[in-house]
Amino acid sequence: MRGFMRLCAARNRSTGRPAAGTGAQSLAPSTLILLRHGESQWNRENRFTGWTDVPLTDRGRQEADRAGDVLRDAGLLPDRVFTSVMTRCVHTVWRVLDRLGRSWTPVDKHWRLNERHYGALQGLNKEAAARMMGAETVRLWRKSFSGIPPADAGAPAQLRRDPRYSRVALADLPATESLEMTLRRVMPYWQHAVMPQILCGSTVLVVAHGNTLRALAAFLDGMPHDSLAQLHIPTGVPAVYQMDAAAQVVSRYVLNIKK
Which residues 6+ apart lie within 8 Å of 197 measured at CB? 30, 79, 80, 204
End-to-end CA distance of the chain: 45
Tell me if residue 45 is catalytic: no
Q: Out of 91, 115, 117, 209, pick the active-site residue.
A: 115
Question: What SS3 class is residue 253?
Answer: strand
Specify which residues 204 forms β-bridges with: 32, 80
Helix (H, G, I), strand (E, B) or coil at 132: helix
Inter-CA distances, 88 with 44, 91, 170, 228, Å: 13, 5, 24, 24
Catalytic residue among 37, 91, 117, 209: 37
115 is catalytic: yes
Distance CA 205, CA 34 (A): 6
Query: Beta strand pairing status for 107-109 and 80-83?
Result: parallel
> 168 burial class (0-12, 13-18, 19+ CB within 10 angstroms)?
middle
Return the amino acid letter for 228. Answer: L
Give the three-class secondary structure for 31: strand
- Please name every residue paired with 243 in a beta bridge, in sequence order, or none if there are none: 30, 249
Which positions are annotated as active-site residues?
A: 37, 115
